[in-house]
Amino acid sequence: MFYVKRDAAGKVVAVANEKIDEHNIVEELPSNHPSIVEFLFDARGVADEDLSRYAADLYELRLSDLALVRVLEDVIYLLLDKNIVKITEFPPQAIRRIQNREKIRDKLRQMGSSLFSDDAGSAHLDVDNLGK
């Protein structure tokens, strides 16, 4: 996360890693926010075509992240099914995220979504009996 200062036109003119009230650097943005990327590339004198290529590569990376998340979910369920790991061995925040994704997938399945037709054999977490 970064803090930014914008000019009257809304363009980022300063970036800091902490809030600096006296210089009006107070708006918090994630490091991959387009305004941050544009500011950093402008500061380095990068051409617009390079910025476009960077944005396209970043988009492709995000798409592959989504696919990889699904693979990791399958690996987690496989490890749980084979009793190699127990759900309680994961940090509480990870358990909540896994449970949340499972609930969302269940809702989508109930709505008849074919989006998750590859889930037919997937394991499901028994969220009511986790600690038992």
| Total-model pTM | 0.46
In the beta sheet, which residues pair with residue 106? none
Per domain, the residue ranges of the chain are 2-46, 66-129
Residue 79's SS3 state is: helix
Between 80 and 119, where is the model more confident?
A: 80
Sheet holding 12-16, edge to edge: 12-16, 2-6, 27-29
With tokens 């290529």, the residue in question is 53
The tokens describing 60, both together, are 């492709």
Between 132 and 90, where is the model more confident?
A: 90
Between 11 and 116, where is the model more confident?
A: 11
17-45: pLDDT as tens digits: 888 888 778 888 887 788 877 777 665 55
Residue 109's SS3 state is: helix
pLDDT of residue 120: 43
47-87: pLDDT as tens digits: 556 656 766 777 777 778 888 988 999 999 999 999 999 99
Give the residue among 129, 123, 120 at the shortest CA–CA distance from 81: 123
Mean pLDDT on 75-100: 94
What does the alpha-carbon distance between residue 121 and residue 88 come to, in Å, rounded to a whole number?
Answer: 22
